[in-house]
Amino acid sequence: MDKSFEPTELRPTRPSNPTTSPHWLVNKKSVDHSILQQQTIALLRHPYDPSCWVSRAETLSRLDFPELAVGDAYKAARLCYTMLDFVSSRSGKIWSLGSGRGFWMCEDHAPESAGQQNGDEKLRSSLNHVLIDARGIQASNLSHRHDREGKYIPQAYPWLGEEHRVRRQNVLDDITREIGTNKAKTQEAQPCVEVKRCTFKPGQEDESESASLGVFAACDLPTGHRILTDRTDFFGCSGPGPGNSRSHLGGSFGCLHPIHRNLVDDESPHDLRWVRERTGQWSAEPLMLCRILLASVVRNEQSPLDLPAIARLTPTYHRQQSKTFRRDDDIEIPNEALQHFGVDIFANPNYDSWVLFTLSARLRNNSWSSPVAAALNPLFSLFNHSCEPNVEWQTRKDHRTIELRVSRDVVAGEQLFVEYDSFMHDCDLETRRDRLGKWIDGPCLCSRCMREEQASRALQVGDKRKCEGEVDAYFGEDDEDDDAFNTVSYSFGILFFLCVFL
């Protein structure tokens, strides 16, 4: 479900505890937000100093960004482990601390000043202290399944630049080119659809860069006409790992399609079978994310948010609905994949943790999934939802190609809608809206939902009026008897007053 882009603000992502004061309010006065900026600048200067990552992780934790705090603490721990292994391999060397704690230098001879000497034990002690701090930060922000999962409320981070908060004309131009090269055409060999800026408010138009996007019929289309065949490279599936082993699938057969780059005969320059082996039956979404990161690196995008398939997407942020983040799937695996792709995860801020979680929010709102697969189809993701759609879609056996056809006659200029969850089509209004909360922050406002809501309200009003009419009819049958009763009651009241006070 597309929506207009909104300005970002500093909004914490940690779910509040109703039994205690919100962490954000307790620390609001004690934490200077400028410290976070200063620590970020320090990391740009000294990206390989684990203590800098720990310092920013502590600040992010106090500011109530648990997922980002765990991300920074993870990088600090990675640096500590690497440096400890490096020191162990060069036992007996003399170490000097570089200027500003940015690096450690190994020297063959003792420096002139004995005060600058740092032997193996001192260096190990320093690294172990940082490592303990990093583990403590992770433990305080993870609380499920042996400290591997945590809770957070996805929000638009204030560090998201304006270029990634709006869809400029070049984004629409990319979409138009993709539609122009699509196999589905009209009899006149013209595209069947077009994407335009739009608004969901009747009678209003919005041509700003922050407006919503919608897919519209480019001409009159008869029932059953194919309008798009959307094939994607951004997909993932659960299936056999090395040796066609199914032992990690939890009893599932998984996806066995031969064209997927996760089989033994995988000839991709970047073999991603290790992701499948690590995550087993839950590998679909981590694989999809890794393929998007790979595409960003191969295409030399400055940021993965600049990737055309990502730049067109908006996330759905539920202000009070918390979600689970996993240290393995959301932090460790993407960062390890980036290192396999040649990205310096410490010195390149374009792949920072907040960027990865921004990607996840957009994928969660715009990708589709099945029991064995997940995929982001760049054109299909642009269709908005309706509980009475005029377009039906079907996935092919390769789990990466979608065909879309109109399910009834449509006229030129009519917006085209799909149904996000067709299994809920015959359910009642409240059940459908509850399910659609996965994509829509608030009740679904499609034509069917609004019509059923108005009918429900009318029924409630009718029942209320009927009930009131029955009550009036019951008490209003003998008006003369009621008047006589009121007269007797009034006379008895006067008599009682005279007896008491006279």
pLDDT tens sequence across 227-278: 999 999 999 988 766 566 676 676 666 777 766 765 555 445 677 888 888 8
**DSSP H or E segment with residue 152:** strand 149-152
Q: State yes or no: pLDDT of 62 exceeds 70.
A: yes
pLDDT of residue 14: 92
Is the model's pLDDT at 23 over the cut of 60?
no
Residue 179's CB is within 10 A of a number of other CB atoms, namely 20
**pLDDT value for 217:** 95
pLDDT score recorded for residue 96:
54
Cα–Cα dist 128/111, whole Å? 24
Q: Tell me if residue 147 falls in helix, strand or coil.
A: coil
pTM tops 0.75? yes
Say if residue 31's pLDDT is above 70: no
Q: How many C-beta atoms lie closer than 10 Å to residue 182's C-beta?
A: 18
Please list, in sequence order, all residues whose beta carbon lies within 8 angstroms of the beta carbon of residue 287, skipping any fewer than 6 positions away.
235, 236, 237, 262, 272, 275, 276, 279, 374
Q: Tell me whether residue 123 is exposed, middle or buried, using C-beta atoms within 10 angstroms of its C-beta: 0 to 12, 13 to 18, 19 or more.
A: buried
Query: Which segments within 24-100 are labelled E, that is strand?
Result: 94-97
Q: What is the pLDDT of residue 491?
A: 42
Q: Is 194 helix (H, G, I), strand (E, B) or coil?
A: strand
Give tens-digit pLDDT for 211-228: 889 999 999 999 999 999
Domains and CATH numbers, the chain: 31-152 (no CATH), 157-420 (2.170.270.10)
Mean pLDDT of the 172-192 span = 92
Please report which confidence band the pLDDT of residue 84 belongs to, taking 50, 70 and 90 as the band edges: confident
- pLDDT value for 137: 96
pLDDT (tens digit, 9 = 90+) per residue, 326-367? 999 999 999 999 999 999 999 999 999 999 999 999 999 999
Name the average pLDDT for the chain.
80
More confident site: 80 or 147 = 80
- Confidence at 466, pLDDT banded by 50, 70, 90: low
Q: Which residues contact 333 (CB under 8 A, 6 or more apart)?
A: 275, 278, 279, 286, 290
Structure confidence by residue, pLDDT tens digits, 414-458 = 999 999 887 778 888 888 888 877 787 778 888 888 898 888 888
Contact yes or no for 403/393 (Cβ under 8 A): yes
**pLDDT at residue 22 greater than cutoff 70:** no
Least confident of 14-23, 91-100, 203-212, 301-310: 91-100
